[in-house]
Amino acid sequence: MPLSFSTMAVGDWPEVQRVYAEGIATGLATFESMPPATWGEFIRPKVAECCLVGRNGAHALAGWAVLTPVSYRTVYRGVAEASVYVAATHRGRGTGRALLAELIRQAESRGFWTLQSSTFPQNLASLALQKALGFHIVGIREKIGRMSYGPLAGQWCDTLLLERRSAAVGRD
């Protein structure tokens, strides 16, 4: 069954928080060791109109995707960081691809010309997904942070900086 998408809302928060926690539990999704405690804390820095949830019909949340501005300087108004989290029960089914494709579509419709992400080199599924949708590695951020939990606990970790430049926006 294909996913249906909607703009993330406060009522989605318990499921969004659960899926975020599932991603955190892998130890390969983020340096964060736990999701934010409140909806307000989570949504405040995001581009609210580019925060979406995906559902399999009316069922539980399959995943979510958000944009976060990389800067509030005017020159970077079309550049944002993309994040995608997929519920454990929906991994390996194309859910991440559908979410990221929809996020790209929504971002471009709102004038974003560059999306970027910061991904652990060990997160092979995320890297493959991003590359399949036009992201490419532009750099390595060596020992950017020390992991506090999971399989990489105590290690200084690299992240790969990936970027996707729109073919439709910002080319004039």
User: What pLDDT is attached to residue 36?
Assistant: 96
pTM listed for this prediction: 0.93
> Is pLDDT of 168 > 90?
no
Could you tell me which residues are beta bridge partners of residue 164? 115
Structural domain boundaries enclosing 48 = 3-165
Residue 170 lies in a domain: no
> Is pLDDT of 145 > 80?
yes
Q: Which helix (H) or strand (E) holds 65?
A: strand 61-69
Q: Within its chain, how far is the Cα of 152 from the centroid?
A: 20
Residue 73 lies in a domain: yes
Per-residue pLDDT band at 1 (split at 50, 70, 90): low
Residue 123 lies in a domain: yes
Domain CATH for 84: 3.40.630.30
Cα separation of 90 and 63, whole Å? 8
Residue 172 lies in a domain: no
Count of domains forming the chain: 1
Q: What is the mean pLDDT of the chain?
A: 94
Residue 91 lies in a domain: yes
Mean pLDDT over 146-157 rounds to 94
**pLDDT tens readout for residues 2-55:** 889 999 999 999 999 999 999 999 999 999 999 999 999 999 999 989 999 999
Residue 76 lies in a domain: yes
Residue 171 lies in a domain: no
